[in-house]
Chains A and B, each alone.
Chain A
Amino acid sequence: MDITYSDTRTLAWIAFGFYAISFLVAFLSSLKDRPYLRPLFYISLITGLTFQSAGLYFRGLNLSAFPLTNIFEILQVTAWCTTFLILVIQLRSRLRSLGLFGSAFVALITIFSLSISNFDSYRPIADLIELSKRANPWIELHAALAIFAYSVFGLLAITSLMFLLQDYSLTHKRFSGLFQLLPSLKQLSSISHILLLIGVISLALSVILGTLTWLSQTVHVTVSKLVCAWILFISYLNILTLKEKQRCLPRSIAWACIILFLFAMLTLWPLHLSLSS
């Protein structure tokens, strides 16, 4: 069976459908102040992940490379990694609200990647052959690690948002609706700490690999991408240090994590420009 370029997009659409279902299950339950149907939520999330995995796998076969050649693929891989992390954390810590926020996040990323056709421009076969010839495993590892780090930071932004909502709820004494689903401040703080650590380590490996490749083969790595990655890495490392040394209030750290993730998303734009050129 030949899976074409557009078939992989269909698989991504199906994945989006399942992510949207899992979000709706979590959202409608929280709207009614009720614990959501866990099996239904997990089944739809895992099915979404399976379809997305299939889409990315066949896209990789088409490209003969790791599917990170355009913004569509980057966002798809980010959503895949985030879903995977949500499942791991959910199964370990049973954070109901992380499922709600997390499924919304992956559904949004997936639909965003699908909605702008320019993000996934069709590449002629000649281009693909050229791409596979130029493929450098170190660069692909660098890119994969960077995208994994972005996913971790995405999830970190979600837990930070949940922290701020819980803080708001406790300060303003509001506990109905969504607020009653939120985990404790300490729990959110410790999960954020683990995510920050994983993200910083992944990004550190990524920027080191990227820099070493740039030093040996400047043509493979664009300076703007590398500079953005270094800025992000230093910023997140700084937050981690402040958190470790307890020099900064948790509320400020949560805000910083959200703002930095938005900045990380913005850095995808120059990346998009460099990839499309």
Chain B
Amino acid sequence: MNNNYPFSLLLLTTSHKTAPLEVREKFVISKDQLHSLRHKLQSIPTIFESLILNTCNRTEVYCAVTPSFSHSTLMNIFCNHLEIDSTLFQKHSFFLHNKEVIHHLFHVTSGLDSQIVGENEILAQVKDAYLEAKNYNTVGPIFHRLFQKSFQAAKAVRTHTTISLGATSIGSVAAELASRIFGDLSSVRTLLVGTGEVGQITAQALKIRGNHNLTLTNRTFENALPFASKIAATLLPIEELPKTLKNFDIIIACTTCHNWLISGNSLPQSSTNPLFLIDLSVPRNICPTTAFRQNTYLYNLDDLATIANENLKNRRAEFSKCHSILSHKTDILWAYLNPAGSNYPQTSSLKPEVDSSASYS
């Protein structure tokens, strides 16, 4: 770190890349802890600005500090305040400085550092963290620029590359296919046969996309009750399955049954309405010959996994393109913020006023 700089950017980070789930669980910060840590950082004169990003996959503390500020101080403040085992935390975390911080933040907001590459949720989470920090007045001119630019970088990456294109999980692939067939899913009638885990995930993915007309049937009625109430699905006795099949637009089969639950004979001869059959069972529950039925689209677990993997591969192929866009943007921002240049904010105006009246609700 160059001590001639009137301020330095400092980042303390731990994420899914450095810590397994069982370790990350120990670093989870509650709302109250977050609030008090924020205040603690704000009260330290050598920290001009700070922002805490706390999601299920990452905990990051962004700071603009005096050049003489030691990163071990930040580590100690963080661990002592949250009563975390500092040795364990040290083992699963790392520090970044100045330009590396910008580069890292741009990758985070663009979803390149996420567990599912290219996902959009992280952008909203960073925006929330920024707004909260703004509300508590812990960010000033440096972080306003840094974070605004990171949102712009994320947008640029999504506009100029296909990093966030295509679903990458079985559930979202099935939901995306359903949207390709039916468009708006709100009035689509969906039947879930069985309560297998993948089936539940798929039903939830459909519900998230606005599909509220869900029906659930299971051999053991009692086992289906908790999930049915969770997704607000109607329960159907399994005996009524054959005669009610014609009433549904999407049928998801996810049972451990060893026979064909749905075959060509159990479906009406032909229909002008499309039928989407999703077979998530192993062994399969829907006879493959149903795919020959007009206006019927049959997908099994392998088909969905192939599409998900293909999408993931496409996203990874875009990685280098994203990286070069973000590197270019990092250079531009660093040239602006770099105190060796003429544009950097003056240290006298760096420390935001402490707003004790800010709402912590």
Binding site for B on A (CB under 8 A): 33-34, 166, 169-171, 173, 175-176, 180, 182-187, 246-251
Contact = CB atoms under 8 A, between A and B. Distances in A.
A249 B272 contact: yes
Given A33-B165, A34-B162, A173 B307 contact: yes
Interface string B286-315: 000001001101010001001100100010
Contacts of B294: 249, 251
A4 B45 CA distance: 80
A274 to B, nearest CB: 40
A248 B272 contact: yes
Nearest to B188: A186
Contact of B295 (A169, A180, A183, A250): A250
B65 to A, nearest CB: 40
B274 interface: yes
Given A173-B299, A184-B181, 13 more contacts: A166-B180, A169-B180, A170-B297, A175-B307, A175-B310, A183-B183, A184-B182, A185-B183, A186-B181, A186-B184, A249-B272, A250-B295, A251-B294
Q: Sorted from nearest, which 10 A-B pairs have the closest CB atoms?
A: A184-B183, A246-B272, A187-B183, A186-B183, A170-B297, A33-B162, A186-B182, A185-B181, A249-B294, A184-B180
17 contacts: A33-B165, A170-B181, A171-B297, A173-B303, A175-B166, A175-B310, A176-B314, A180-B166, A183-B183, A184-B183, A186-B182, A186-B184, A248-B272, A249-B272, A249-B294, A250-B272, A250-B295
Interface in B203-257: none
A239 to B, nearest CB: 13
Contacts, number: 54
Contact of A249 (B162, B180, B270, B306): B270
Contacts of B160: 34
B179 interface: yes
Interface in B159-180: 160, 162, 165-166, 177, 179-180
Nearest to B178: A184
B165 A185 contact: no
Nearest to B276: A170
Contact of B180 (A33, A34, A185, A248): A185
A195 B145 CA distance: 50
Nearest to B162: A33
A249 B295 contact: yes
Contacts of A184: 179-183
A254 B295 CA distance: 13
B291 to A, nearest CB: 8
Contacts of B165: 33, 180
Nearest to B249: A186
B177 A185 contact: no
A272 B195 CA distance: 66
